[in-house]
A = this chain, B = another copy of it.
Amino acid sequence: MAFPKKVTIREVGPREGMQIEKTPVSTEDKIRLVDLLSECNFPVIEVTSFVSPKWVPQMADAELIAEGFKRNPGTEYQCIYLNSKGIERAKATGKFDLEGVLSIIASETFSRKNTNRSIEETFDEMDERIAVLRNFDIPISTIAVMTAFGCNYEGNVDPQHVVRLISRTIEKANAHGIDPDRILLGDTVGWANPVSTEYLVGQVQERWPDKTIILHLHDTRGMGMANAYVGLKMGVTHFDSSVGGLGGCPFGGSQGAAGNIATEDLVHMCHELGIETGIDLEKLLGVTREAERILGRELPSKVGKARSLASYRQIPSH
């Protein structure tokens, strides 16, 4: 398959990145980060999580962040919520483009440890989840499979198992007269490699040719960009990434490991391959520096340290 002409990159750094930071980040800095990202012209930014501060204390200021950031008319602003309470909180701010996601964790152990539910229990609760989302008039657009490639507890995940989980979720949705048009494949703890990415993406494309695949890749073992390349080569048009490669894995013994693939590295690769992103890369490199200042540490992105190739092409030989 050919490269897409244009891809949609969702910036998840403010949410997924900040969620695991040990250094306390001020609400003001979090707002500043979202505003700076907005100036780069992202199509989608995931801003924060409306979850219990008991579980994720870093996100206790979700309402303040929501109140503080400036909406850019070209950007969709998303947030995470787990239940009615979260939706009510997010809705009350009036700042978000709420999206309904039906999530499944492909690894039984990971599911139990991180959501306190088995896979079957997740399916059991899905009707209620759908009802709640519909009750709030939130369009159910996406099916998300986490640990879709493997997990530190259970090892490799069977791609056929993932396909079955997606299939069952679609059936559940269809029973409510809904047909989510996006499938997110999440390599939550960095188990994907280029071959397994190609295989799973291929299976999903073959089975559901009309649905949009979103690749949510982590660079835990250095294969994130190679996996993204394989996705691009297969025509995948939607990717998640975080500025600077913010984040990391708080789960399952990978503390200190790399987070999402770095947005600027992904944007840069797309531009080098002639794929549009609509994102202002040079501005984004400024955001990386600001994120490093805020967190007081170097972030793992590469283009952030090396300048873009485009910037070299603009200067005459010397």
Contact = CB atoms under 8 A, between A and B. Distances in A.
A292 to B, nearest CB: 12
Contact of A153 (B254, B300, B317): B317
Given A194-B229, A257-B305, A306-B254, A222 B268 contact: yes
A213 B233 CA distance: 24
Interface residues of A, number: 48
Interface in A264-318: 265, 268-269, 272-273, 300-303, 305-309, 312-313, 317-318
B268 A301 contact: no
Contacts of A305: 256-258
Task: Please tell me how many copies of the chain the complex holds.
Answer: 2
Contacts of A222: 225, 262, 265, 268-269, 301-303
Contacts of A300: 300, 302
A306 B220 contact: yes
Given A154-B317, A317-B109, A309 B229 contact: no
Given A193-B269, A258-B302, 6 more contacts: A194-B269, A219-B302, A220-B302, A229-B229, A254-B307, A257-B302
15 contacts: A109-B317, A109-B318, A150-B309, A153-B317, A153-B318, A155-B309, A155-B312, A155-B313, A191-B309, A219-B302, A222-B225, A222-B269, A256-B305, A258-B302, A258-B306
Interface of A: 109, 150, 152-156, 190-191, 193-195, 219-223, 225-226, 228-230, 233, 249, 253-254, 256-258, 262, 265, 268-269, 272-273, 300-303, 305-309, 312-313, 317-318
